[in-house]
Structure 1
Amino acid sequence: MKKYFQEFKYNFNLAMPVILGMVGHTLVSVVDNIFVGQLGSAELAAVSLGNSFVFIGMSIGIGFSTAITPIVAEFDSQNDTEGGRSAFQNGLILCTILGFGLFFLLFGMKPILSYMNQPEEVVRLAIPFLDIVGFSLVPLVVFQAYKQFADGMSQTKYSMYATIIGNIINVVINVVLVFGLWFFPKLGIVGSAIGTLIARVFMVIYMHYILSKNEKFKPFFVGFGLKSFQKSVADRIIKIGIPSSMQMFFEVALFTGAIWLCGMIGTTSQAANQIALSLASLTFMFAMGLSVTAMIRVANHKGLDDYKKLNTVAHSIFLMAIIVEIVFALLFMFCNEFFPQFFVNKEMALTGKEVIEVLSISSKLLIIAAFFQISDGIQVVVLGALRGMQDVKIPMYLTFIAYWLIGFPISIYLGKFTSLKAEGVWIGLLAGLTAAAIMLYFRFRFLLKNHR
């Protein structure tokens, strides 16, 4: 254990900016939910429904962009600036194309909302929200290309700064546009969507400016533009990026399915699900930060062909994730009735009966979320280590089995055909995440054994 603990300080220093940046990413939607929650349960459910589509696009875009990090990190460990520059610039081109593609895909999927057995008022409110937040996927995926490049260079602080400032912008715009303060119009959830879009555009501008002006990164911006496209490099990114995007898609789609299932159960169940999901997503970002750390450090040692050190580093990060998630699990258990109160306004937004029902359901969901914190943390950090080893195809199949052959069928059965309802849906999530954690860890051990 001593050799693992010795790695904690370096892991922490590398992970903390990533974690803060990830938390900032999630706070954009959490802030939206808090402000919209003051308007009513229908508005909160509409944001949940709209975001369920956007999250699918985000999972594909963010998952694809992660291919940039291990490739850049491997070149960085070998001091190969030309290779790193090519990986960054080709990754940025691909992410820009993908961002626009995802927006047009979501725009074309809007008619599906009317056939999802969701409340009519919720669908009506969700459509304009989806248009604007859907377009924000373009700057978000472009930002991810810059972020993953900087992460691969072990410079994780810049994306943290971008997301912190982006969150401040989002909060200010939410305050004035959701409620119509000063001379601004009252736009409700549309105002919240505008805040998200503007914040994400700023984040791209900031990342390009700060990196291109930094002496360390200037060589990577030489020949910047479409002329830098190289098919061989793009093919390598795509080979890693597509399975990585599918891995993230399978998990996010599982939670999206949970949103839809809870919507079929009722508006209050959907609103409660969104509250619990917002809180669980916030704590999950800590594990995601450690996952990025695992990806960077594992890729570094892979580039040096030092698998003994790779093993030590990876397991030190796994241990950190377990410790952190146990703390969050205990926090969810002891504060399961306290946290949900931030998302509803008892005086203005909901009837007394709705308040009681939403708070009751969400508090029960947080108890289940407490248990899957550990499984969720393990599966995502192991997945990061596997991406660092550029092993993505087999993990893609494993995550599909865990989430869609194990987790979601349990969610459907317990949620739709038993009295557990929303709690049953979340028990299915717990089963899927636990299965993923076990299978991915055994895959990692198998790869290490073959490199001894």
Structure 2
Amino acid sequence: MNKYFKEFRYNFKLALPVIAGMVGHTLVSVVDNIIVGQLGSTELAAVSLGNSFIFIGMSFGIGFSTAITPIIAEYDSQKDIEKGRTAFQNGLILCTILGFALFFLLFFAKPLLNFMNQPAAVVKLARPFLDIVGFSLVPLVVFQAYKQFADGMSETKYSMYATIIGNIINVVLNIVLVFGLFGFPKLGIVGSAIGTLIARIFMVLYMHYILSKKEKFKPFFNLFGWQSFEKRMSNKIIALGIPSSMQMFFEVALFTGAIWLSGMIGTTSQAANQIALSLASLTFMFAMGLSVTAMVRVANQKGLEDYPKLNVVAHSIFLMAILIEIVFAVVFMLFNEFLPKQFVNVEVAHQVKDTAEVVAIASKLLLIAAFFQLFDGMQVVVLGALRGMQDVKIPAVITFIAYWVVGFPVSIYLGLYTELKAVGIWIGLLAGLAAAAILLYLRFKYLLRKRL
């Protein structure tokens, strides 16, 4: 074990800015839900429904952008600046195109809200929210291109700064626009959407400015623009990006399906699902940070063709993820009743019954989340290691089987056809994540044995 512990310090140094940025971003989503939750369970359910569509588009965009990191990291270990510049600029062009494509896709998919067996009041509120946050996918995916490039260069702090400042802007605008403070109109959940859009635009502007001014990155901005498009490099990014986007899509779609199933059960179940999902997402960001670390460090060792070192590095990160998720599991088990109460307004008289039901359901879901996040953390760090090895096609198949052949059918049956309801839906999530963690690790061990 000592050889793994020796890697912890460097792993943590590389992962900490990523974790801070991701936790900050997710924390803002949690704060957004707390702010919207003060308006009522219907408003919270509407945000949940709208975000269920956004998460699908986001999964494609973020998943695709992760292809940039291992390519950049491999060229960085080989000191090949020219290929790194080409990879970065082509990745940025592709992400820009994808961002607009996702926005138009979501815009024209909006009528599907009417056919999802969701409460009419929830659907009515979700429509304008979806339009604005849908457009924010454009700056979000462009930001991801800058972020993944910087991560691949082992400079993870700049995206952290952008995210933290962007999050502060988001929270301030949310409070002001949702409740109509300082002379601004009271916009409700539409105000929350506007805050998100403005914050994401700022994050793109910040990343471009800060990276283009740093001496280390200046060579990568030469001949910056559409003239840098190169078919060969773009094809390489697409070949990695599409399976990577499908991996993330299959997982996010599973959780999106859980939101829709919860809405079919009722508004309180959907609101409780949103609370538990917000908290689980917050702790998941620690594993996501380690996943980026795994992707970068494994890609570096792949570029150097040092597979014994790759083995040690990867397993040290896997071990860190397990230890961290155990801590969070204990927190969820100890505070499963306290945490949900922070998301609702228990003092609104006409909502007392609904609020009590939301808290009761969410507290049960957190007990399941305590167990499933162990598998969720493991599957995402192993997936990061596999992306670092540029192995994406088979893992895409594995994630489809785990989430949609194993997990979602269990969620449907237990959620809609038994008395477990929302709890049954989350048991299905647990089954899918456990299958993914086990199968992806077996895939990693198989590839490693071949290289060794």
Question: With structure 1 as the length reference, what TM-score do the two structures score?
Answer: 0.99
SS in structure 2 opposite 1:233? helix
Question: Which deviations, in whole Å up to 9, do the C-alpha atoms of 1:370-409 show, x marking residues without a partner?
Answer: 0011100100000000000000000000000000000000
CA contact (8 A) 2:41 2:355 kept: no
d(CA) in 1 for partners of 2:302, 2:244 = 18
CA contact (8 A) 1:159 1:207 kept: yes
Question: Which deviations, in whole Å up to 9, do the C-alpha atoms of 1:225-284 show, x marking residues without a partner?
Answer: 000000000000000000000000000000000000000000000000000000000000
* Matching residue of 1:252: 252
Change over 3 Å in CA distance of 1:185–1:349 after alignment to 2: farther
Question: Identity over aligned residues, as a percent?
Answer: 79
CA contact (8 A) 2:40 2:351 kept: no
* Matching residue of 1:162: 162
* Matching residue of 2:13: 13
Q: Which moved more, 1:27-36 or 1:280-289?
A: 27-36
SS in structure 2 opposite 1:284? helix
Aligned letter for 2:91?
Answer: G
Give the Å deviation of 1:24: 2.0
SS in structure 2 opposite 1:215? coil
Give the Å deviation of 1:348: 3.0
Give the Å deviation of 1:349: 7.9
Question: Which deviations, in whole Å up to 9, do the C-alpha atoms of 1:117-137 show, x marking residues without a partner?
Answer: 000000000000000000000
* Matching residue of 1:417: 417
* Matching residue of 1:439: 439
* Matching residue of 1:187: 187
CA contact (8 A) 2:261 2:415 kept: yes
- In structure 2, runs of 5+ residues without a counterpart are none
Give the Å deviation of 1:347: 1.4
CA contact (8 A) 2:96 2:138 kept: yes
Aligned letter for 1:366?
Answer: L
CA contact (8 A) 1:84 1:220 kept: yes
After TM superposition, the structure 1 = structure 2 runs for residues 230-269 of structure 1, keeping only pairs within 5 Å, are 230-269=230-269
d(CA) in 1 for partners of 2:136, 2:181 = 24
Aligned letter for 1:79?
Answer: K
Give the Å deviation of 1:28: 3.2
After TM superposition, the structure 1 = structure 2 runs for residues 194-209 of structure 1, keeping only pairs within 5 Å, are 194-209=194-209
CA contact (8 A) 2:292 2:384 kept: yes
* Matching residue of 1:375: 375
d(CA) in 1 for partners of 2:296, 2:28 = 25
After TM superposition, the structure 1 = structure 2 runs for residues 312-391 of structure 1, keeping only pairs within 5 Å, are 312-348=312-348, 351-391=351-391
SS in structure 2 opposite 1:126? helix
* Matching residue of 1:84: 84
What's the Cα RMSD here?
0.7
Aligned letter for 2:421?
Answer: K
* Matching residue of 1:50: 50
After TM superposition, the structure 1 = structure 2 runs for residues 38-77 of structure 1, keeping only pairs within 5 Å, are 38-77=38-77
SS in structure 1 opposite 2:286? helix
CA contact (8 A) 2:276 2:340 kept: yes
d(CA) in 2 for partners of 1:289, 1:350 = 42
Aligned letter for 1:39?
Answer: L
1:403 paired to 2:403? yes
d(CA) in 2 for partners of 1:323, 1:289 = 14
- In structure 1, runs of 5+ residues without a counterpart are none
Question: Which deviations, in whole Å up to 9, do the C-alpha atoms of 1:149-192 show, x marking residues without a partner?
Answer: 00000000000000100110011101110000111000000000
Aligned letter for 1:400?
Answer: F
CA contact (8 A) 1:337 1:363 kept: yes
d(CA) in 1 for partners of 2:141, 2:34 = 25
Aligned letter for 1:224?
Answer: F
Give the Å deviation of 1:350: 5.7
